[in-house]
Amino acid sequence: MIQVNHLTKRYAGRTAVDSISFDVEKGEIVGFLGPNGAGKSTTLRILTCFLSASEGTASVAGYDIYEDSIKVRQHVGYMPENVPLYPDMRVKEYLQFRGRIKGLRYRDSLRAVNEAMDICSLSEVDHKIIATLSKGYKQRVGLADALVNKPDLLILDEPTNGLDPNQIRQSRELIKRLGERHTILISTHILSEVEMTCGRVVIIDQGRIRACDTPQNLIRRLRRPGEIMLEMQGDGDKAAEKIGKLEGVKSVKKTETGNRWVTLSIHTDPNIDAREDIFGLVTEAGWKIRELASRAASLEDAFVDIVQRPSGAKIKEEADA
């Protein structure tokens, strides 16, 4: 659905996107991640033919971005960063106008707008002036705009930017639902959202691709020391000393919780699970356990690790080692 080959964009004097290559297959939901200024919006603007590349090639929805830019725009639903809307128009009126601009005939545009409003739960505000809508509704109008020409492919640039946690959850559900019918390339920096919705992520930093894989694989490759949390009642100092001698345990830190409960934060070697040993040791001593949990690594941990690595370090090779 998308093929990107050594795409490069230079703005006067600086390279915003530096020879990137990646593919998106039909039916995938791919997260496009990176810190601010990484080059995400620039890439998405090039792929949607709103900006020309300096070098490289790309095909989107089967069309070349240079040769067939009109076709690309007809077959892609694009929601730009900071959704530009006409604030003085009413929701339905605006979407119909957009549908017509995208080449829909009047009758078709009526049907398409109603459908898009239905999908984005906008029907109850269809006659409201856009300026009076909340941020969450405005984002949904942007999304309905992207959907109105029934594209196979959706390219969404930070669709959840500036939304509150509740709106983010709703938008996540919506994007998941859209993923059943559309191929989606979505840039965001809400990583928990990516972990739940995206089958694959492309991580870009300083204009270069730093990783490209499933969230699960990125997390698995993260060679982070293990972290276990133990909350127990008994002789905390003695427990810390004994646990510190277990195989694979690197350090133990104790904090008093009050009422004789202590919390121990235990760091272990990567990929070592010392929970059973700790459990045995504590119960044998006759102490009580309230909690014993290992903190699982998240996509956020993997992202921070990948982006902080010196550039040039390849993630793939490490996995193969």
Parallel, antiparallel, or unpaired for β 261-268 and 63-64? Answer: unpaired
Q: Residue 99 binds what, of Mg ion, ligand ADP, none (CB under 5 to 8 Å, by partner type)?
A: none
Q: Which is nearer to ligand ADP, 128 or 309 (CB)?
A: 309
- Of 39-47, 252-260, 281-289, 290-298, which segment contacts Mg ion by CB under 5 A? 39-47
Q: How many residues bind ligand ADP (CB under 6 A)?
A: 10
Q: Is the dihedral of CA 52, 57, 61, 64 positive or negative?
A: positive
CB of 233 to ligand ADP, least distance (A): 49
Counting DSSP H helices and E strands in the chain, the numbers are 12, 14
Which residues, numbered 206-265, are part of the site for Mg ion (CB under 5 A)? Answer: none
CB of 59 to ligand ADP, least distance (A): 21
Q: Which is nearer to ligand ADP, 232 or 306 (CB)?
A: 306
Token couple for 126: 């269809």
Q: How far is it, in rounded angstroms, from Cα 157 to Cα 138?
A: 14
CB of 53 to ligand ADP, least distance (A): 12
Q: How many residues bind Mg ion (CB under 5 A)?
A: 3
Q: Which is nearer to ligand ADP, 2 or 297 (CB)?
A: 2
CB of 129 to Mg ion, least distance (A): 28
With a CB cutoff of 8 Å and minimum separation 6, the contacts of 224 are 270, 297, 301, 305
For position 41 contacting Mg ion by CB under 5 A, the verdict is: yes
Q: Residue 36 binds what, of ligand ADP, Mg ion, none (CB under 5 to 8 Å, by partner type)?
A: ligand ADP
CB of 112 to Mg ion, least distance (A): 28
Q: Residue 37 binds what, of ligand ADP, Mg ion, none (CB under 5 to 8 Å, by partner type)?
A: ligand ADP
* Main-chain phi, psi angles of 150, to 5 degrees: 50, 55
Q: Which is nearer to ligand ADP, 42 or 109 (CB)?
A: 42
Q: Which is nearer to ligand ADP, 20 or 297 (CB)?
A: 20
Nearest to 208 by CA among 66, 13, 4: 4
Q: Which is nearer to Mg ion, 41 or 149 (CB)?
A: 41
SS (H, E, C) 165-193: HHHHHHHHHHHHHHHCCCEEEEECCCHHH
Q: Give the distance from CA 133 to its chain's centroid.
A: 26
Q: How far is it, in rounded angstroms, from Cα 85 to Cα 79?
A: 11
Nearest to 147 by CA among 95, 198, 216, 204: 95
Cα-only R_g, the chain: 25
Which residues, numbered 16-55, are part of the site for ligand ADP (CB under 6 A)? Answer: 16, 34, 36-42
Parallel, antiparallel, or unpaired for β 2-11 and 55-60? Answer: antiparallel
CB of 204 to ligand ADP, least distance (A): 7
How far CA 42 is from CA of 54, 121, 187, in Å, comes to: 12, 30, 11
CB of 257 to ligand ADP, least distance (A): 42
With a CB cutoff of 8 Å and minimum separation 6, the contacts of 70 are none
Q: Which is nearer to ligand ADP, 39 or 56 (CB)?
A: 39
Q: Which is nearer to Mg ion, 40 or 92 (CB)?
A: 40
Chain residues binding Mg ion by CB under 5 A are 40-41, 81
Chain residues binding ligand ADP by CB under 6 A are 11, 16, 34, 36-42
